[in-house]
Amino acid sequence: MRLVRRALLILLAALLAAVLGFLYYKTQGVDFARQVRVNEHLRNLKAIDAQWNESILRSRTELLAVDAGGALPRDPVARELSGLAEEARAMNHPVLVAGVASLATLYDRKLDLMTDYWRRATAFRNALRELLAALPPAQLQVREAAAQPGARVPEYLRTDLDQLAALAIEFSSISDDALAEQITAVEARLLAGATWLPPGAREPVMLVSTRLATMRQTKPGRDTLYQQLSFFPTAPRTDTLGASFAQSFQVEVDERELYRVYLIAYSAALLIFLGYVGVQLFRSYRVINDVNAKLKRANETLEHKVSARTRELSDALKHLKESETMLVQSEKMSSLGQMVAGVAHEINTPLAYVKSSLETITTQLPSISSIVHETEVLLAMLQQGQATEAEVTDQFARVAEMAEALREHEAVDTMEKLVKDGLYGIDQIADLVANLKDFSRLDRNKVARFDLREGLESTLQIARNLVKHKDVRKVFGEIPLVSCSPSQINQVFLNLVTNAAQATPENGGIIRITTRHASPAEVTVDVEDNGHGIPPDVVPKIFDPFFTTKDVGKGTGLGLSIAYKIVQQHGGRIDVKSVVGKGTRFTVTLPVEPAAPA
């Protein structure tokens, strides 16, 4: 959704920019320099045309000018036209292109006409010149002939010749039918008049007539061309083209102005829009800023709260650890209590018969001490030799009687037996105390290389009261010494053995303890019983602290959880397998060398 919105926004921005670009492009279309160049070309063309017209006009007024016109150069016109065509093409201006093409044809045609005209004008001029050159000799001849006596030279011949120069020049510059007829008449009169002259004078007059005829014949062609050229539409057509170009240019300029207005309006709208967006952005920026500030404040409060909560939690954790230690301690005290009860019971039995032996011995002691006394009296009598024989015999008989009585009662043998019994009892007590010391190992928590079998033995000794009616089967396989904390491991064993004893019936309970060197790095101890077993739904809970199925005072529910923790700290594990009604097997697996010190 956000992706689509972003794409749409980008599209909109691109569209706005494209419209702006289009409007800008539209305002850039007109090239004034080009217009100036086009106008210049047109102006130049017109100037050339005007030059041409002027030269044609001059050809009429300056009739005898030397080399009027001559070969016409096409280059300047061609240059202007090609320049114009180039601009038209560059502007891609169809009207101008077509106009320039037709203008070029027009100018070409005018040039052709002019060439023709110049040819004819030159011929006419030559005829005029020759005529004017031929006039003076003719006039001379006529005057001389007329001066001859008896000459019959018509008068009109002289007047004709005298007026002919003016007439010819008039005829050259004015197209007039009457004038042409007059020329034809003069021509005829000259031919006719020449016959009146003497043969030698005829020639020049006839020459004048011939020249006049030539002039008359060449003039119409020249005049027609002149007429054509006079009305040749190069100038108006050039003007028209210029005007239409100017018009189309104006249209373009107007269009550009229109687009400029559009551009300004669009830019203004865009600016307003951008301003609006900016204001919106600024607003949202302010909102974001506010929210940020609030968040920051909330964060600070939160941090405070978190640190307070962390403190509380760490306090709670400390408390928890303390209570855990206390619990562990209490479990230890509890098992210690059980153990002490067992041990006290164990000590009580030997202690009882040591006591009774000593009591028995105490009852025998007076008779022995009186024998000793009577024997001492007898010995003193014999030593001093003052007593009578009868007194000695009497004393001897008393001692013998007492000794006989002692022998009869087997008092010494009994005492010997009692002392032996007492010593045996004391040995038993000493044994127990030694085991107790072994079991609890005063060097608590210290890691040592320990024979687990030894630990199992002392555990069984400690728990003797619990297991004395059970069939305890020790299947001790050969195992290496294990690096561990012996007192902790003994605590594990004691708990397992205690649980096994408590789970088995009073009679017929079997507890099998097996040690195995399971793998080169591990040793396992199985404590197996044929007790009531653990239901499968209970098995997952037995390692939980305080989970117990036993009566209050009998179980704390901490034994297995502590055992689990101890074994885990040693890098080992406890597994359990149990079938309800058949029995339970706990397997403790310990590494021979724990990875980290326990």
Ligand X SMILES: Nc1ncnc2c1ncn2[C@@H]1O[C@H](COP(=O)(O)OP(=O)(O)O)[C@@H](O)[C@H]1O
Cα 465–Cα 469–Cα 474 angle in degrees, nearest 5: 90
Number of residues in contact with Mg ion under rule CB under 5 A = 3
> Counting contacts by CB under 5 A, is residue 499 touching Mg ion?
yes
Is 430 within 8 Å of 461 (Cβ atoms)? Answer: no
* Least distance (Å) between residue 502 CB and ligand X: 7
Nearer to ligand X, 197 or 527 (CB): 527
Q: What is the CA radius of gyration of the chain?
A: 79
Nearer to ligand X, 44 or 569 (CB): 569
* Least distance (Å) between residue 483 CB and ligand X: 25
Query: Which parts of this chain interact with ligand X (CB under 6 A)?
Result: 495, 499-500, 503, 529, 531-534, 542, 547-550, 555-561, 584
* Least distance (Å) between residue 524 CB and ligand X: 17
> Counting contacts by CB under 5 A, is residue 559 touching Mg ion?
yes
Q: Coil, strand or helix: which one is 529?
A: strand
* Least distance (Å) between residue 468 CB and ligand X: 18
| Cα 340 from chain centroid (whole Å) | 71
Residues 6+ apart with CB under 8 A from 548: 555, 556, 557
> Counting contacts by CB under 5 A, is residue 242 touching Mg ion?
no
Query: Residue 189: how many CA atoms within 13 Å on its side-chain side?
Result: 16
Find which of ligand X, Mg ion, none residue 127 binds, CB within 5 to 8 Å per kind. Answer: none
State how far the Cα of 145 lies from the Cα of 398, in Å rounded to an integer.
248
Nearer to ligand X, 253 or 539 (CB): 539
For residue 529, give both structure tokens.
């019983």
* Least distance (Å) between residue 331 CB and Mg ion: 9
Nearer to Mg ion, 56 or 501 (CB): 501
Nearer to ligand X, 87 or 529 (CB): 529
Residues 6+ apart with CB under 8 A from 476: 453, 456, 513, 514, 515
Find which of ligand X, Mg ion, none residue 534 binds, CB within 5 to 8 Å per kind. Answer: ligand X
Nearer to Mg ion, 425 or 545 (CB): 545
Q: Where are the alpha helices (DSSP H) in 472-594?
A: 486-503, 559-569
- How many Cβ atoms sit within 10 Å of the Cβ of residue 68? 18
Length of the chain: 598
Q: Which residue has the tokens 């024997």?
A: 375
β-strands 573-579, 583-591: how paired?
antiparallel
> Counting contacts by CB under 5 A, is residue 545 touching Mg ion?
no
> Counting contacts by CB under 5 A, is residue 335 touching Mg ion?
no
State the first-to-last Cα distance of the chain, in angstroms, to the nearest integer.
58
* Least distance (Å) between residue 532 CB and ligand X: 6
Nearer to Mg ion, 234 or 490 (CB): 490
Nearer to Mg ion, 145 or 466 (CB): 466
- How many Cβ atoms sit within 10 Å of the Cβ of residue 119? 14
* Least distance (Å) between residue 534 CB and ligand X: 5
Residues 437-496 that bind Mg ion (CB under 5 A): 495
Is 8 within 8 Å of 235 (Cβ atoms)? Answer: no
* Least distance (Å) between residue 428 CB and ligand X: 29
Interface residues with Mg ion (CB under 5 A) are 495, 499, 559
